[in-house]
Amino acid sequence: MATATAPIDERGFFSLGLHSGATFNALLAAGRDPDRLAIVEVVRDMPHIFGLGQYGGHRIHVSEVDCVIESDRSVFVLPDAPITEEDERIARHVEHLIDDGATLQFGIGGIPNSVAQLLASGQKGDFGIHTEMFVDGIMHLHRAGKISNQKGMFDGFSIATFGAGSAALYRWMDRNPEVRMLPVAQVNDPAIIRQNRRMVSINGALSVDLSGQVMADTVGPRQYSGVGGHELFVIGAHDCPDGKSIICLHSTATANGQRLSSIADSFPAGTPVSTPRHHVQFVVTEHGVASLGMLTARERVDALIEIAHPDFRDALRAAAPGR
């Protein structure tokens, strides 16, 4: 078992830096098994990030390591995602859905960072952070004084299981007492997520059909991303008292040079569904918000067509089930 770490500290520990996920417990198990190897690759600019003692502290001692490799590579920096006009319009819709005291989960991309920037410059606050991925927007919220982390679970800390962003983010996270990395089994557990105060999950999607099913990682036979914690955070936020699960997407996409509606009348047979319709609450495009939680099947169709791009609404109405 091998993983990248920060340089060894004064007590002989290697911090696992930007990634705990499923790696941490596997690394510890390998280090304690005489028939396996535990290998750490020390990356010189990997930030030293703290964990919590009850979950192993996000570190491994040199005495449990079989091999140490001194790397000459730098830590991966995630390029800034360009923020489009559609991203900004979606972010404004999402910002209106978030209340003071919410616990926030952000995904990757321009929309979540736009939401975080709006919250950082706005009047709302007293937020908590419980997220799979730690992104630059969370740093901006901390710097704006918007994070209290009095959220009911892991109070006092912004919780994540991995981080990806700018070099500035990594410098800010280094030995930051307000940040904690935990194994994915704790961070992405819906039973834990739902105990946070006013949990809000903000996730992206590739397409949503008129029943409310979400396709977030695959189009046809092509997989665009991993499944990740998308559905787990949707469930956790959905089941949280005063929680909100928000799915964001542009109303159109371009494939093979053709502009298509991201709100689809139906998915092709065999399409992998990332999130089933009964877990979906809010769907947001640049054209508005569809609140699906208490709607009938027919009402869902109407609500989703209203946030589709105007150029495709008539065709969606004509193709809608039961029309």
What are the catalytic residues? 132
Distance of alpha carbon 169 from alpha carbon 275, whole angstroms? 30
What is the DSSP track for 90-148?
HHHHHHHHPPTT-EEEE-SSHHHHHHHHHHHHSS---BEEB-SEE-HHHHHHHHTT-B-
DSSP E strands, 130-276: 133-134, 158-160, 162-163, 179-181, 199-204, 207-209, 214-215, 218-219, 222-223, 244-248, 252-255, 258-261, 263-264
Task: Identify any residues that bridge with 40 across adjacent strands, giving them in sequence order.
Answer: 3, 68
- The terminus-to-terminus CA distance of the chain in angstroms comes to 56
Could you give the count of Cα atoms lying within 13 Å of 139 in the half-sphere of its Cβ? 17
DSSP designation for 278:
G
Distance of alpha carbon 169 from alpha carbon 135, whole angstroms? 8
DSSP designation for 19:
B
